[in-house]
């Protein structure tokens, strides 16, 4: 089953007016390869300007959104507001949100359902910590996180699942293609067994954690790796090499 390749650039809490402009210029000067979709996620403050300045071939994502359209929820932004500025994507359940902001599996599931209902596509992140991998709990953790999302949603057509082992994020310690493929295959089988064969075949499962231009092509060869969520390297020219990893 041919799934379009998907590259997400997660800028996290990085950038300034000037570096955002440099990144937008870099992206605007690049031709996205056919069969690849690229979505970048600036900090909330810069999302609007990036959407206005970036060419339309790129998607733009927020890094978080809430479960209400509007109201007294200081500091939050709603999927409806993202739609209002033509932003069609949001990253939800990133391990940094789970760890530092105590977002539970259930809350991530609810936020995913809410964003999808509002018409915003979701990059839904899951992944185990080092101690969980070392105690052979990887499958248990990632399927628990995926189930919490599956429990809340019916339509998977606007969901990309990002498998991001926490031990590989920002550490320079990338999962081997075999390690990543093993988990991706497990996740796809879980979707086939618990949601449907069709959803399992069509859903992009992307890998995140220390992806660079130098390791992307090897990872991209694996059958169940449908792209990447890129943190650090998305702030550099190297991101363009990653975007071209499947050619
Ligand atoms: P990294 O981050 O590429 O810097 O490891 C990935 C992510 O957190 O999405």
Q: What is the pLDDT of residues 45-74, one digit of tens each?
A: 999 999 999 999 999 999 999 999 999 999
Domain boundaries, the chain: 5-244
Q: Is 150 within 8 Å of 113 (Cβ atoms)?
A: no
* Mean pLDDT across the chain: 97
In sequence order, what are the beta bridge partners of 233?
Answer: none
Residue 131's Cα: distance from chain center in Å? 23
Provide the CATH topology of domain 5-244.
TIM Barrel (3.20.20)
pLDDT at 2: 82
Positions annotated as catalytic residues are 94, 164
In sequence order, what are the beta bridge partners of 229?
Answer: 8, 208
Ligand 1 atom with the shortest distance to the CA of 212: 3
Testing ligand 1's pocket by substitution, the residue of 166, 170, 175, 212 carrying the most ligand atoms inside 8 A of its CB is 170
Instruction: Dump pLDDT digits (tens) for 101-156.
Output: 999 999 999 999 999 999 999 999 999 999 999 999 999 999 999 999 999 999 99
pLDDT at 1: 58
Q: Is 244 within 8 Å of 24 (Cβ atoms)?
A: no
For residues 228-233, average pLDDT = 98
Judge whether residue 11 has pLDDT over 70. yes
For residues 82-100, average pLDDT = 98
Q: Is 93 within 8 Å of 112 (Cβ atoms)?
A: yes
pLDDT at 247: 75
Judge whether residue 236 has pLDDT over 70. yes
Atom 9 (ligand 1): residue with closest C-alpha?
A: 231
- 60 Cα: distance to centroid of ligand 1 (angstroms): 17
Q: What SS3 class is residue 43?
A: coil
Give the span between the Cα atoms of 86 and 76, in whole angstroms: 18
Nearest to 169 by CA among 221, 145, 133, 222: 133
């Amino acid at each position: 089953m041919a799934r379009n390749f998907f590259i997400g650039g997660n800028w996290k809490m990085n950038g300034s007016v000037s570096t955002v402009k440099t990144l937008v210029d870099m992206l605007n000067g690049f031709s996205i390869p056919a069969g690849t979709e690229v979505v970048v996620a600036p900090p909330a403050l810069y999302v609007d300007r990036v959407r206005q300045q970036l060419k339309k071939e790129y998607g733009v994502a927020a890094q978080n959104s809430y479960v209400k359209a509007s109201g007294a929820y200081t500091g939050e932004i709603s999927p409806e507001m993202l739609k209002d500025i033509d932003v069609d994507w949001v990253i939800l359940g990133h391990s940094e949100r789970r760890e530092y902001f105590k977002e539970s599996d259930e809350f991530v599931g609810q936020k995913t359902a809410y964003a999808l209902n509002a018409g915003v596509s979701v990059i839904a992140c899951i992944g185990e910590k080092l101690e969980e991998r070392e105690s052979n709990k990887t499958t248990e953790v990632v399927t628990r996180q995926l189930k919490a999302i599956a429990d809340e949603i019916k339509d998977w057509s606007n969901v990309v699942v990002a498998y991001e082992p926490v031990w590989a994020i920002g550490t320079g310690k990338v999962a081997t293609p075999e390690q990543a493929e093993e988990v991706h295959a497990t996740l796809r089988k879980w979707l086939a067994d618990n949601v449907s064969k069709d959803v399992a075949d069509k859903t992009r499962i992307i890998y995140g954690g220390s992806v660079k231009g130098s390791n992307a092509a090897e990872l991209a060869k694996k059958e169940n790796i449908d792209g990447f969520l890129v943190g650090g390297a998305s702030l550099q020219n190297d991101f363009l090499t990653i975007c071209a990893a499947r050619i």
